[in-house]
Structure formats: C-alpha cells, structure tokens
Structure 1
C-alpha cells in the first residue's frame, strides 16, 4: 500500500481492480487544510487518461511490475505475439495496449514487457531503433547545403522528417521517445 508521499510519476497502482500508471503527479500543500496529490493516471488496458486527486488520508494499492525482455514475433489480427528471451514462453498482447509503440516496432525487435505476475500490461521500446526508409523524395542537388528536411516513410509505415541527403533504402536511427531522426547508419 502506498500513502500520499509515495505517489510519483511512473508508479503502477490498482484502483477498483483496474491497473493504472501515474503519468503526472503534483503534490500540493495548501496553507489551510491537509495536503493532497493532483494526478493524471493512465489506464493500462486502453490508454485512457483520467484526473484523480488523492487526499492525505487515502492509501492506494501498488502493483509490483516485473520487466521481461521479449522478442516481438508477429501480429495476428488485433493480437501481437511476443516470446520471452529466457524461458521461450509466448505471450499475447492486445493491440490496444501497444498502439503507440507500433509505429517503431518491427518483427524480431527486442522490447521490455511489463508484467503483473503472468499478465502482460505494456511494452517499452528501446530508446533508439534502426529502421529502413522505404520511400522518400530525392533531394535536389545543392539543397543539402541549406539544410532543411523532407518526409520519409519507414518500413513500419511511420513517417518521419529526415535531412535532404537521406535516400531510399537507407537505414536510419530513430528516437522512439520523440519520433525524430537521429542519424544515418
């Protein structure tokens, strides 16, 4: 159980048998009255974000989340299949849990799957991934000196801005947190 002072960003909690993660937590100590925490909590199952205020006399059940390295195998309709790198067990996750990560997730990629016991809750991509550009406009000669960028479609279908000198079939490194081009490989 967690008390008011234990609440922080990234903490996984259970309210009314639903698992949430705290996205934003602000501790408020008014001049009059008792302290409270104003939070934004994200429901793990569908990603809905709710505003919730916790008073100083409330306790919250925390969830012990274990990280497992797993390899993304394939997609079957709305289900994604992952294989544990240590035990070789296969786990499924519904697409609603990983929709934000799909834009940088390719088959064979190793990710961190956050689990509550044997129940997968969410995935965490590595900070940087290497992807191949499938389609981009050719840069015009002389444009690379002035800088600038153009749009490029990656092998996962995501579109990112890249410098003008980057061509089709080029492998690039992308920051998964911001969705931005980092470097050419």
Structure 2
C-alpha cells in the first residue's frame, strides 16, 4: 500500500481494479483545514486523464506492472504489431494505447511493452532514438551562424525542428521525452 503523500510523478497504483500513473501531483496545505494531495493521473487501461484529490493519510494499492521487451514489426489499419523475440508471440496495440510513442516507432525497434493484469496497456521507448530525415528544405550556404532552425520530417512521419545544416538522408538523434533534435549522427 502507498500513502497519498508518497505519490509522485511516474508512480503507478491501483484503484478499483484500474491502473493509474501519476502525471502531476501537488501537495496543498490550506491556511484553514487539513492538507490534501491533488493528482492528475492517467488511467492505463483507457488512456483517460483525470484529476482527483486525496487526504494525505489515504492509502492506495501499488499496481504490479510487467515489462516485456518486444520488437515493433508493422502498422496495419491502425493496429501496431509487436513481437516477443523469445516466444514469437505477437500483440496488436492501437494508436490510443501508444500515445506519443507512435511518433517514434521505426520498424524493428525494441521497446518495453507494459502489461497490467496480463493485458498490454502501454509502450515505453528508450530515451533516445536515431531516425533518418526523409523531408526537409535545403539549408542556405553561409546561413548557419544565426542558430536558426527549420522543420524536418523523419521516417515515421513525425515533424520536428532541426538546425539549418541538417539535410534529407541525415541520421539524427531525438529525445523521445520531448521530441527535440539532439544531434546529427554519423
């Protein structure tokens, strides 16, 4: 059991058979009355984000999540297929299940699929990925001193801002937490 005072961003817990992950938390101590904890939390089963208030002494059940390394295979009609490399078992997840992770799913990438009660509920990517730029405007020679950026599209269709010296066909490293360009990879 976890007390409401111990809930922090990223902690997962269970309420009424549903798994929740804390997105944002605030400890509030009003001038009058008892303190409380306000949480913004995501239901891992449905994807809904809700806000709820807890007394600091309330307890919630810790959620047991299982992580399996799986390889992303392909997308067919909005179903993203992953395969367990050990057992060759395949599962399909929807865009709603994946959230922002869908922007970084390159074929054959290995990800952590998160299970709750033997049901896949989400995907966790590595912090950084490397992707190839498929479309961007060419940079103008000599215009690199300003530190300006331009829009580029990677092989998954995701658009991000990159420096002017990055061209089509270049491989870049991207932070999957923020979607920001980090560096060009040789």
- Identify whether the pair has TM-score above 0.5, normalized to the shorter chain: yes
- TM (norm. structure 2) is 0.89
3-state SS of paired residue (1:37): strand
Q: Distance in 2 between matches of 1:58 and 1:51?
A: 16
Paired residues of 1:173 and 1:184 also in contact (CA < 8 A): yes
1:1-185 equivalences in 2 (<5 Å): 1-30=1-30, 32-185=32-185
Paired residues of 2:19 and 2:116 also in contact (CA < 8 A): no
Q: Distance in 1 between matches of 2:55 and 2:146?
A: 55
Paired residues of 2:21 and 2:41 also in contact (CA < 8 A): yes
3-state SS of paired residue (1:122): strand
Change in Cα spacing, 1:36 to 1:146, as seen in structure 2 (3 Å) is: closer
- TM (norm. structure 1) is 0.90
Q: Distance in 2 between matches of 1:130 and 1:4?
A: 38
Q: Distance in 1 between matches of 2:66 and 2:101?
A: 19
Consecutive unaligned residues of structure 1, counting only runs of 5 or more, are none
Q: Deviations over 1:138-173 (max 9, x none)?
A: 111211233311111111101111111111111111
Consecutive unaligned residues of structure 2, counting only runs of 5 or more, are none
**Equivalent pairs, count:** 185
Q: Deviations over 1:99-128 (max 9, x none)?
A: 311111111111111112421111111111
Output the aligned Cα RMSD: 1.9
Paired residues of 1:45 and 1:96 also in contact (CA < 8 A): no
